[in-house]
């Protein structure tokens, strides 16, 4: 190990290399002048070590630290080589006293302190270089685990200046390399070299020099290997082990560098996150066994510079499981939107999952509080409170009426809710009671309410509604052959139970407002005694078709729904009723339009591929299992009102296929000359909105748009006609639409007319 060797008696004296008492005894036996060198000696170390120090920026005034110095002469040689600002620390008071006496006259500027390397008493970023000769190896007793080594390297990272170097002289055993490589993975440059042996001494084990340089970044660098076969004078097992460790670690780093989904640990980011770094985004894991009740996935985002001062240095935004796949929280673009609205310099977005289902928000916040404090920037160390934020639904009471799983849609929920606040016009219409709304929600997009109906029966409180729903659930599982009996039974809500003269969704109001663009044409059709033909792709709970059926008598509606389970829910839980002006087809909406377009000359009765027909109810409605077109004529209005099965794609509505250029061309071909195409678009991504506009511009000559719900919902309108309504005629067109509408409560119709004033021309 050193040129003088070490007797077996002395090694037995040491025993546990992490024991201060054992080291005190060891140094007492050896005496002040009997220095002991672990691994290589100065003649071998001089050139490679000095070459590393000479590359440091602050060369004239380098502050060096030699931890676990023992009685090695390493720091004395460095002092004599011109590096006078050296601090030596060791937890053995015996050796520090001996070394101080040995150097006080000849090296007066050298500092010696009794100190535990795992808990250093230095300020952050004190040293330009730290030179460890066997210290880490001594702490890494295999039977004791990595705890002490981990604490020591955390201190090294803390007290080293940015741009500084940690030089670790080690035997490079696998358990030591495992910690060393992982600890300095993020934001550090690392190289590995072997110490060439110039002295006559031939130790049985090779000494390696691992050098890490501190960067203020979150980059991952490949480890540079400077190893040369000619410099290795050790057994093949040691050499092959090091090469294998290097290969494995560089593969890990390559994977990290090529992926944006890597989850770091708090330990990885401990030093890097002390300072804000504008525009930085990192994913990490929080908590876990031994430090919290739960573990969490989190994203740390440092805001970009803004003109107004931040309200908070650090904030926490909790994303519930039901919203985790929503584009606003799932995508990077959406997350940066949340950061800007939070007005926090650093936002920690925490995602809840199934493991947190039974925990209250108070429990979650209490569990998270100590974890997020570790991630707060240094500017927050004045004790400022870290606010917890979470999107509120504004719901006072919720009761699940029905829950079913569909092979096409997944988990589907029908629920009754009471809101904290309701629209003012509803308060006027129903002033004497608390309003209950029935909602249709898909688990795949739990924050998107597919449909919402107002329950108007004042005799049935919300909890009784839930009980009725449970009775209904049992009966709905019976044989399809008893369909007509089921629908006439006492467990089903009559049409009068729902107020179909009101649409809760503002985008439904927006869709209907677009009818003003063809109101002159609709008026002429109605005057001639004919019907305006509309196709709605996407049924939901059937509320939009039922609303249109009730308020526009000249409208003949065909609704298309892919999932038969949704059709059953619309009938059984939302009182959808079909008649000669309202028909429902179970079919793929895109295929439905294409089959219409290919069958203009003849009547078509489509049959589903290898699927059975849904039995027609006894009330005479004509639901078909695929496509049943009584008369192949042009459509006057086509409405796309479907959600996407993948909300993380950035487009919540519609499914991407409904905006393919080929489908848009098919729709245009099938529209009458005065036809209107309407799409409900839900996306927060400007890139997606631009893409949609570009595709529609390619196909249609005239485009209009209505923006709703704080820029999330946009209703797009396209006209087939080459001629187009002039801006000066909008007021007259709105008036004609108003005359076509038939409402029991005029104030509801006024919302539609008001929305027409917000429609803007795009092309």
- Give yes or no for residue 739 having a pLDDT over 80: yes
Q: What is the dihedral of CA 650, 651, 656, 661, to 10 degrees?
A: -100
Of 134-138, 160-164, 313-317, 357-361, minimum mean pLDDT range: 357-361
Give CA–CA dist 740/290, Å, rounded.
68
The confidence score (pLDDT) of residue 300 equals 92
Of 26-35, 180-189, 424-433, 520-529, minimum mean pLDDT range: 26-35
Average pLDDT over residues 733-739: 91
Of 171-180, 351-360, 403-412, 652-661, minimum mean pLDDT range: 351-360
- Give yes or no for residue 1 having a pLDDT over 60: no
Of 82-86, 413-417, 600-604, minimum mean pLDDT range: 600-604
- Give yes or no for residue 16 having a pLDDT over 70: no
The confidence score (pLDDT) of residue 267 equals 67
Q: What is the separation, in whole angstroms, between the first and last Cα of the chain?
A: 82
The confidence score (pLDDT) of residue 749 equals 81
Q: Of 676, 699, 670, nearest to 597 (Cα)?
A: 670
The confidence score (pLDDT) of residue 294 equals 87
- Give yes or no for residue 172 having a pLDDT over 60: yes
- Give yes or no for residue 436 having a pLDDT over 80: yes
pLDDT-derived band at 447 (thresholds 50, 70, 90) equals low
Model pLDDT for residues 272-314, shown as the tens digit of each residue: 777 888 888 888 888 876 678 888 889 999 998 877 788 888 9
Q: Of 721, 707, 697, nearest to 757 (Cα)?
A: 707
CA-CA distances (angstroms) from residue 43 to 179, 191, 195, 323, 418?
29, 21, 10, 64, 82
The confidence score (pLDDT) of residue 190 equals 94
State the DSSP code for 294: S
The confidence score (pLDDT) of residue 119 equals 93
pLDDT-derived band at 390 (thresholds 50, 70, 90) equals confident
Model pLDDT for residues 541-589, shown as the tens digit of each residue: 999 999 999 999 999 999 999 999 999 999 999 989 999 999 999 999 9
Of 47-56, 280-289, 504-513, minimum mean pLDDT range: 280-289
Give CA–CA dist 541/319, Å, rounded.
27
The confidence score (pLDDT) of residue 403 equals 93
At residue 411, the 3 state secondary structure works out as strand
pLDDT-derived band at 507 (thresholds 50, 70, 90) equals confident
- Give yes or no for residue 216 having a pLDDT over 80: no
Q: Of 269, 324, 327, 330, nearest to 302 (Cα)?
A: 269
Residues in the chain: 763
The confidence score (pLDDT) of residue 19 equals 64
Of 5-9, 129-133, 515-519, 580-584, minimum mean pLDDT range: 5-9
Q: What is the mean pLDDT of the chain?
A: 79
Average pLDDT over residues 383-399: 76
**CB–CB of 10/29 below 8 Å?**
yes
Highest mean pLDDT (candidates 156-165, 352-361, 435-444, 705-714): 156-165
Average pLDDT over residues 351-377: 87
The confidence score (pLDDT) of residue 39 equals 78
**CB–CB of 176/144 below 8 Å?**
no
**CB–CB of 689/716 below 8 Å?**
no
In the sheet that 436-442 helps form, which strands lie side by side, from edge to edge? 395-406, 410-419, 436-442, 449-455, 498-499
Question: 476 or 716: whose pLDDT is higher?
Answer: 716
Q: Which residues contact 230 (CB under 8 A, 6 or more apart)?
A: none
Question: 310 or 444: whose pLDDT is higher?
Answer: 310
The confidence score (pLDDT) of residue 627 equals 44
Average pLDDT over residues 192-214: 78
Highest mean pLDDT (candidates 88-102, 315-329, 427-441): 88-102
Average pLDDT over residues 595-606: 51
Q: Of 252, 251, 384, 258, nearest to 316 (Cα)?
A: 384
Model pLDDT for residues 65-74, shown as the tens digit of each residue: 999 988 889 9
- Give yes or no for residue 759 having a pLDDT over 50: yes
Question: 319 or 483: whose pLDDT is higher?
Answer: 319
The confidence score (pLDDT) of residue 52 equals 92
Average pLDDT over residues 213-225: 82
Q: Which residues contact 488 (CB under 8 A, 6 or more apart)?
A: 618
Question: 225 or 38: whose pLDDT is higher?
Answer: 225
Sign of the dihedral through C-alpha 269, 389, 687, 307 = negative
pLDDT-derived band at 652 (thresholds 50, 70, 90) equals confident
- Give yes or no for residue 719 having a pLDDT over 90: yes
At residue 670, the 3 state secondary structure works out as helix
With a pLDDT cut of 90, the percent of the chain lying above it is 36
**CB–CB of 730/753 below 8 Å?**
no
State the DSSP code for 612: P
The confidence score (pLDDT) of residue 29 equals 64
Highest mean pLDDT (candidates 142-151, 196-205, 330-339): 330-339
The confidence score (pLDDT) of residue 617 equals 39
- Give yes or no for residue 355 having a pLDDT over 80: yes
CA-CA distances (angstroms) from residue 544 to 507, 510, 655, 682?
10, 11, 19, 17
What are the DSSP calls for 438-464, one per residue?
EEEEEGGGTTSEEEEEEE--TT--HHH
Model pLDDT for residues 100-152, shown as the tens digit of each residue: 988 989 999 999 999 999 999 999 899 999 999 989 988 887 777 788 888 89
- The helix-helix angle for 661-670 and 686-699 (nearest 10°) equals 40
State the DSSP code for 324: T
């Amino acid at each position: 190990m050193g040129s003088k060797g070490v007797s077996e008696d002395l090694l037995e004296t040491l025993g546990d290399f992490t024991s201060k008492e054992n080291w005190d005894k060891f140094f007492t036996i050896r005496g002040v002048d009997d220095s002991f060198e672990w691994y290589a000696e100065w003649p071998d170390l001089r050139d490679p070590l000095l070459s590393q120090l000479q590359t440091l920026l602050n060369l004239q005034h380098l502050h060096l630290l030699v931890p676990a110095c023992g009685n090695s002469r390493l720091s004395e040689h460095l002092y004599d080589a011109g590096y006078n600002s050296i601090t030596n620390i060791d937890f053995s008071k015996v050796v520090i006293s001996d070394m101080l006496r040995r150097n006080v006259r000849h090296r007066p500027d050298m500092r010696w302190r009794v100190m535990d390397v795992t808990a250093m008493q230095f300020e952050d970023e004190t040293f330009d270089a730290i030179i460890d000769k066997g210290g880490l190896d001594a702490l890494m007793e295999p039977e004791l685990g990595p705890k002490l080594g981990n604490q020591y390297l955390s201190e090294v990272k803390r007290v080293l200046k940015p741009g500084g170097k940690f030089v670790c002289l080690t035997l490079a055993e696998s358990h030591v390399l495992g910690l060393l490589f992982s600890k300095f993975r993020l934001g550090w440059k690392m190289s590995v070299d072997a110490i060439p042996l110039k002295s006559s001494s031939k130790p049985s084990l090779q000494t390696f020099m691992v050098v890490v340089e501190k960067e203020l970044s979150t980059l991952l660098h490949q480890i540079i290997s400077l190893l040369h076969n000619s410099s290795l004078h050790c057994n093949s097992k040691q050499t092959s082990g090091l090469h294998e460790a290097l290969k494995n670690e560089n593969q890990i780093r390559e994977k990290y560098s090529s992926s944006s989904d890597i989850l770091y640990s708090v330990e990885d980011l401990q030093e890097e996150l002390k300072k804000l770094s504008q525009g930085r985004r990192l994913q990490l894991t929080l908590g876990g066994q031994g430090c919290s009740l739960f573990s969490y996935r989190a994203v740390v985002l440092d805001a970009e510079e803004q003109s107004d001062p931040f309200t908070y240095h650090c904030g926490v935004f909790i994303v519930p499981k039901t919203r985790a796949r929503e584009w606003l929280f799932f995508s990077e673009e959406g997350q940066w939107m949340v950061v800007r609205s939070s007005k926090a310099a650093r936002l920690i977005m925490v995602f809840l999952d199934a493991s947190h289902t039974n925990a209250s928000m108070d429990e979650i916040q209490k569990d998270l509080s100590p974890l997020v404090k570790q991630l707060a920037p240094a500017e927050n160390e004045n004790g400022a409170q870290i606010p917890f934020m979470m999107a509120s639904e504004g719901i006072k009471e919720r009761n699940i009426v029905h829950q079913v799983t569909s092979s096409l849609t997944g988990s589907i929920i029908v629920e009754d809710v009471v809101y904290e606040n309701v629209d003012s016009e509803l308060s006027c219409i129903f002033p004497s009671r608390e309003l209950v709304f029935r909602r249709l929600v898909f688990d795949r997009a739990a924050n998107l309410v597919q449909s919402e109906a107002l329950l108007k029966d004042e005799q049935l409180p919300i909890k009784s509604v839930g009980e009725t729903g449970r009775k209904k659930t049992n009966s709905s599982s019976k044989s399809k052959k008893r369909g007509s009996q089921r629908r006439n039974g006492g467990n089903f809500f009559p049409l009068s139970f729902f107020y179909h003269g009101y649409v809760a969704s503002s985008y439904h109001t927006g869709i209907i407002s677009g009818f003003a663009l063809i109101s002159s044409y609709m008026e002429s059709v109605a005057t001639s005694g004919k019907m305006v033909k509309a196709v709605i792709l996407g049924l939901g709970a059937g509320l939009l078709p039922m609303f249109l059926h009730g308020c526009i008598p000249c409208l003949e509606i065909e609704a298309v729904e892919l999932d038969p389970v949704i059709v059953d829910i619309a009938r059984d839980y939302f009182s959808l009723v079909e008649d000669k002006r309202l028909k429902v087809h179970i079919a793929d909406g895109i295929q439905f339009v294409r089959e219409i377009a290919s069958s203009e000359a003849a009547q078509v009765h489509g049959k589903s591929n290898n699927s059975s027909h849904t039995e027609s109810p006894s009330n005479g409605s004509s639901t078909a299992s695929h496509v049943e077109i009584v008369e192949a004529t042009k459509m006057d209005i086509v409405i796309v009102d479907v959600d996407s099965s993948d909300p993380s794609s950035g487009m919540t509505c519609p499914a991407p296929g409904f905006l393919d250029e080929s489908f848009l061309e098919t729709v245009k071909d099938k529209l009458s000359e005065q036809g209107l195409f309407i799409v409900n678009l839900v996306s927060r991504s400007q890139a997606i909105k631009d893409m949609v506009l570009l595709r529609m511009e390619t196909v249609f000559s005239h485009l209009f748009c209505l923006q709703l719900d704080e820029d999330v919902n946009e209703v797009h309108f396209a006209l087939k006609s080459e001629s187009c309504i002039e801006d000066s005629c909008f007021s007259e067109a709105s008036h004609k639409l108003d005359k076509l509408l038939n409402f029991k409560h005029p104030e509801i119709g006024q919302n539609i007319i008001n929305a027409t004033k917000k429609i803007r021309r795009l092309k």
